[in-house]
């Protein structure tokens, strides 16, 4: 049994945090599914921007769509929906075998809408309808403005991947929005089994504090945040409120560990995989991290429902003058801004290629 199979047997889903047309056409993604236990895929504006900018695989499609009169975001979503649809078909047997628990592919709404609740909801509904696959999540940022859109989208029956969460408090707010949508479906006599994941970003924490902390605390904050989020997740799943929804036919919104590629070259390249093993969760990893774990990975101890020693670790960071709450807000703001920058660059790349 290779390390990725062992992680899957431990009850955690391995998803690939990448999509390119070459991955789809070369058979590489199919191989990852067959050999490395990959059961899902996530994408974001930065991933698409890099995929389109760095190669020629999309050039013919861009030229064709420009000839048809498309440009800007409309042209991009035509391209993205093609890739997402093909990936969804590759994962569809997994989706059917697990009765909808796994086998998901994610597509994000325009990051320009992160502060616009109603526009986010409209685009989520439009993309969900256009993709026409049962195993596609629409990604909505868990910003304050995104939370009402998440609730409404769940109530409308749209599977949602809540993105850009950085703290246990962010996770709880996203879970509350999801559960409100589920409870409204129950009250309206609708099927409450609307799938969702809540994605908490981890490695960016360690990057943000690297120059401000003693070496004894290096690369420990992201894991502590992940442990605390898992504690909050476990508390929700143990609550009477959730059990009532479960009894009515709802399914858990799984916690997803994101941004799990190690940024520090002096740290283990499987740091956020080995340290975040937990059943009924997802770890979506960059391609390099997936390959590294398949090559020399090992499983750490399963996360504890009580958060283990993460509370003590966070107290050490507070003593080192790290304001965790303020940093969480900044990371979410910076993350949203980074996706906007990638989005604008992406649209610029598409326009330049379309003008050739």
139 carries an active-site annotation: yes
- Kind plus residue range of the DSSP H or E element containing 223: helix 221-237
Length of the chain: 356
| Backbone dihedral region for residue 41 (phi beyond 0: left; psi -120 to 50: alpha; all else: beta) | beta
Measured distance CA(8)–CA(80) in Å, rounded:
28
Secondary structure percentages of the chain, helix, strand, coil, to 5: 55, 10, 30
Task: Give the DSSP H/E element, type plus range, for residue 59.
Answer: helix 59-67
The residue annotated as part of the active site, out of 53, 54, 74, 139, is 139
The tokens for 327 are 């940093």
**Span between the terminal Cα atoms of the chain, in Å:** 49
- Distance (Å, whole) CA 343 – CA 27: 27
Contacts for 24 with CB less than 8 Å, ≥ 6 apart:
83, 86, 87, 90
Nearest CA to 163 out of 340, 290, 42 is that of 42
Which residues are known to be catalytic? 139
């Amino acid at each position: 049994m290779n390390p990725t199979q062992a992680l899957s047997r431990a009850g955690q889903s391995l998803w690939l945090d990448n999509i390119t047309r070459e991955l789809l056409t070369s058979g590489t993604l199919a191989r990852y599914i067959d050999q490395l236990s990959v059961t899902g895929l996530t994408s974001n504006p930065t991933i698409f921007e890099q995929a389109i900018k760095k190669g020629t695989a999309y050039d013919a499609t861009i030229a064709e769509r420009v000839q048809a009169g498309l440009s800007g975001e409309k042209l991009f979503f035509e391209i993205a929906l093609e890739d997402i649809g093909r990936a969804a078909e590759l994962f569809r047997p997994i989706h059917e075998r697990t009765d909808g628990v796994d086998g998901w592919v994610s597509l994000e709404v325009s990051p320009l809408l992160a502060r616009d609740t109603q526009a986010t909801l409209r685009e989520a509904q439009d993309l969900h309808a256009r993709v026409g696959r049962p195993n596609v999540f629409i990604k909505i940022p868990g910003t304050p403005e995104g939370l009402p859109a998440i609730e409404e989208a769940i109530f409308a029956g749209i599977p949602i991947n809540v993105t850009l969460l950085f703290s246990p408090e962010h996770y709880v707010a996203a879970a509350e929005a999801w559960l409100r949508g589920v409870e409204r479906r129950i009250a309206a006599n609708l099927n409450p089994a609307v799938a969702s994941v809540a994605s908490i970003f981890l490695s960016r924490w360690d990057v943000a504090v690297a120059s401000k902390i003693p070496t004894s605390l290096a690369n420990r904050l992201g894991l502590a945040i992940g442990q605390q989020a898992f504690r909050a997740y476990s508390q929700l799943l143990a609550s009477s409120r959730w059990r009532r929804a479960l009894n009515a036919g709802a399914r858990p919104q799984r916690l997803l560990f994101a941004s799990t590629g190690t940024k520090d070259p002096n740290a283990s390249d499987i740091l956020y995989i080995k340290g975040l093993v937990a059943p009924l969760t997802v770890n979506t990893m960059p391609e390099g991290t997936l390959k590294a774990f398949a090559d020399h990975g090992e499983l750490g101890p399963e996360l504890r429902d009580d958060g283990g020693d993460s509370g003590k670790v966070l107290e050490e960071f507070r003593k080192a003058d790290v304001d965790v709450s303020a940093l969480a807000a900044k990371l979410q703001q910076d993350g949203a801004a980074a996706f906007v920058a990638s989005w604008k660059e992406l649209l610029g790349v598409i326009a330049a290629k379309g003008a050739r």
